[in-house]
Amino acid sequence: MTPVHATFGEVAAERRIASVPLSHVSVELGHLYMEDYEAGPDRLREQFRRVAPWLATVRSLWQERVPGGRARVSTCFLVDDYFSRFSTPAELVPMVLEAAAEHDLSIDYLARESACAQFEDAQSGGVELARLVEDRLVDDPPPETDGSRPPVKETGWLCNGSRSPRTAPMQAMGKTRPWEPPAQNAKRGHSIFVDVELWDEKGPRRTWSCPFLAAVWQLLRLGLLRSDGQVPLPPVALDGGWPRDWDGLPAVVRLNPQAAPFSAYTTLSVLSPRFLPVELAVRTILSQVAVDDEVLRQVATRSESEGVRLEEELVDRISYVFV
């Protein structure tokens, strides 16, 4: 009898990672905070007026880059319902869409900022994206970090180097330790030291910082997050009208049925320069997020198969226009 080759498999022993449809670029047309809302619809119109030429530019750049000119570009808009709750979807969303339409902009997807912290509904159950990303942080090690000790952490903070040693006077010795500078790990000559607050806690309630949620938002748009192997918060089309309560709104709403996929190989955000410090913080966080190996491979394989060479480091897949 010839030897029989047996194969045995166990589902629970395997890792299955779902894949996500991807556009070439996801363009964020705006990010609405309460202060913008309070400033009235003119502030919004002004934002869209500034954004419109950049969207056209990025579209034509990708059309040149992609064989056959079939660039997949999707647009999105983020509403802050985390740090402050204002207005209602029923009142706000039509106003936003109208202001965009005045500049020939179509918003494909609308997302809620609070969903980047956590989201729960009957369909997808609960998912805490912020916790998920926090567990994926791998601290940038200062030189001489050999693994013998756990990484030095200031709870709730993340930096890009070594902090200044404490300079409290040592009373017993009667001497004051002179100030020593912090140092950036990957400095070029001189340091640009960044220390970012990720969250704070008042009692049992944790409030995630704006840069941390923005980092989660970028990862979601890059299609690099998975929860138990599944793609979290897939866009949902809205049946019926806009709800009167933000909690009645899906995390990501698909507004345009013909839209290219929500997630993309790269992202572009068109922002006011006042967001520059926030985005520096976002990049500090993102350069310390370890995305799942398998997910990285999936995206790389897909982009190569359609002749698009992606930047290896995920912070290089994110670009901005500050206007």
How far, in Å, CA of 140 to CA of 160, rounded? 6
Residues 117 to 136 in contact with other proteins, rule: CB under 8 A = 127-128, 131-132, 134-136
Q: Does residue number 148 form part of the binding site for other proteins (CB under 8 A)?
A: yes
| Among 40, 41, 69, 151, interactor with other proteins by CB under 8 A | 151
Q: Tell whether residue 138 is a contact of other proteins (CB under 8 A).
A: yes
Burial of 4 (0-12, 13-18, 19+ CB in 10 A): exposed
Q: Is 149 in the site for other proteins (CB under 8 A)?
A: yes
- For the window 206-225, what string marks contact with other proteins as x by the rule CB under 8 A? -------------------x
Q: Does 198 bind other proteins (CB under 8 A)?
A: no
What region, left, alpha or beta, does residue 139 occupy, with left being phi > 0 and alpha being psi -120 to 50 degrees?
beta
Enter the DSSP assignment of 179.
Answer: P
Whole-number minimum distance, CB 231 to other proteins, in Å?
Answer: 11
List phi, psi (to 5°) of 175. -120, 150
Total residues contacting other proteins by CB under 8 A comes to 49
Q: In the structure encoding, which two tokens stand for residue 179, read together?
A: 């100030």
Of residues 104 and 228, the one with the C-beta less far from other proteins: 228
Contacts for 56-61: CB closer than 8 Å, 24+ residues apart: 58/25, 58/27, 58/268
12 touching other proteins, by CB under 8 A: yes
Hey, what's the torsion of the CAs at 13, 15, 16, 20, to 10 degrees?
170
Q: Judge whether 232 and 124 are in contact, CB under 8 Å.
A: yes
Measured N-to-C along each axis, helices 210-221 and 276-286 cross at an angle, to the nearest 10 degrees, of 60
Which of 322, 321, 323, 314 is closest to 138 using CA atoms? 314
With 0-12 CB in 10 A as exposed, 13-18 as middle and 19+ as buried, what is 81? Answer: buried
Rank residues 126 and 178 by Cβ distance to other proteins and give the closer one. Answer: 126
Is residue 139 part of the contact set for other proteins (CB under 8 A)? yes
One-letter identity of residue 311: E
Selected binder of other proteins within 87, 88, 227, 272 (CB under 8 A): 227
- Cα–Cα distance, 247 to 249 (Å, whole number): 5
In this complex, which beta carbon is closest to other proteins, that of residue 188 or of residue 202? 188
Residues in 288-317 that interact with other proteins by CB under 8 A: 288-291, 293, 296, 312-316
Kindly tell me which of 6 and 168 has the beta carbon lying closer to other proteins. Answer: 6
Binding residue (CB under 8 A) for other proteins from 31, 112, 221, 226: 226
Single residue of 3, 10, 203, 257 touching other proteins by CB under 8 A = 10
- Residue 270's DSSP bridge partners are 321
190 binds other proteins (CB under 8 A): no
Residue of 2, 4, 15, 123 that binds other proteins (CB under 8 A): 15
Q: Least Å distance between CB 97 and other proteins?
A: 33
**Is 186 a binder of other proteins (CB under 8 A)?**
yes
- Footprint of other proteins (CB under 8 A): 8, 10, 12-15, 127-128, 131-132, 134-136, 138-151, 160, 185-186, 225-229, 232, 286-291, 293, 296, 312-316
